[in-house]
């Protein structure tokens, strides 16, 4: 125990003075820590805030870029599809109406004639028809009917095809015009 010879009123005053000094010291120290923290951390806060805003803007730009890439890919696909459709359309317009020609030949065929093969040469505009006719008159009728067709320029068949009496094998060469 320490011996304190001060009167009680001074002891109280001394206690309050010590408490006041400690509070001032602690308050000053706390204020110093807060001011130091603010001074040191405030620039970091602003840098982080601006960095976050910049990152958000960069992410939005990347997403827009990805969308633009997707849109460009779709545009390219559409352009290729349109080009293909145009090529197909041009190709179809250039094509001979070969189906119409074959339909016309078949529709003009007299009854009894059977075709065994039909060969088409686009480069020569030639259709070679092999078949069988019951009589020579049917071959002549077929030739006459085909000569009336708008698609047929000329038709040629060997005269030897007319020599038989029944079930005559024939070859008919048709030059096509379109």
Question: What is the pLDDT at residue 62?
Answer: 85
Q: How far apart are CA 96 and CA 122, in angstroms?
A: 9
Domain assignment of residue 164, yes or no: yes
For residue 42, the SS3 value is helix
User: Is 0.85 surpassed by the pTM of this model?
Assistant: no
Q: How far apart are CA 129 and CA 143, in angstroms?
A: 11
Q: What is the number of domains present in the chain?
A: 2
Burial class (CB in 10 A: 0-12, 13-18, 19+), 128: middle
Cβ 118 vs Cβ 128: under 8 Å: yes
Domain assignment of residue 4, yes or no: no
Task: Give the Cβ contact number of residue 161 at 10 Å.
Answer: 17
HSE, side-chain direction, 13 A CA sphere, residue 56: 6
Ranges in the chain, pLDDT < 50: none
Asked if 27 and 38 sit in the same domain, the reply is: yes
Chosen domain end from 64, 95, 126: 95
Q: Which residues pair with 163 in a beta bridge?
A: none
Q: Which residues pair with 131 in a beta bridge?
A: 115, 170
Q: What is the CATH number of the domain that holds 151?
A: 3.30.1360.100
Asked if 24 and 75 sit in the same domain, the reply is: yes
Question: What is the pLDDT at residue 8?
Answer: 85
Asked if 86 and 102 sit in the same domain, the reply is: no
Asked if 33 and 108 sit in the same domain, the reply is: no
Q: How far apart are CA 45 and CA 49, in angstroms?
A: 6
- For 115-155, what is each residue's pLDDT tens digit? 888 888 887 888 898 988 888 888 888 888 888 888 888 88
Range of the domain at 136: 98-176
Give the residue from 96, 84, 171 showing the smallest Cα distance to 130: 171
């Amino acid at each position: 125990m320490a011996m304190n010879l001060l009167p009680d009123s001074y002891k109280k005053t001394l206690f309050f003075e010590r408490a006041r000094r400690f509070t001032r010291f602690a308050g000053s120290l706390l204020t110093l820590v807060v001011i130091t923290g603010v001074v040191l951390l405030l620039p970091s806060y602003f840098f982080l805030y601006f960095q976050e805003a910049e990152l958000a803007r960069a992410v939005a730009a990347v997403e827009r870029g990805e969308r633009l890439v997707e849109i460009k890919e779709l545009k390219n696909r559409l352009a290729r599809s349109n080009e293909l459709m145009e090529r197909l359309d041009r190709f179809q317009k250039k094509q001979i109406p070969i189906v119409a020609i074959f339909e016309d030949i078949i529709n003009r065929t007299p009854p009894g004639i059977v075709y065994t093969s039909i060969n088409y040469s686009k480069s020569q505009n030639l259709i070679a028809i092999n078949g069988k006719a019951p009589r020579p008159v049917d071959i002549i009728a077929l030739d006459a009917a085909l000569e009336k067709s708008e698609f047929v320029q000329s038709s040629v068949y060997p005269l030897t095809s007319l020599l038989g009496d029944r079930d005559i094998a024939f070859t008919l060469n048709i030059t096509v015009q379109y």
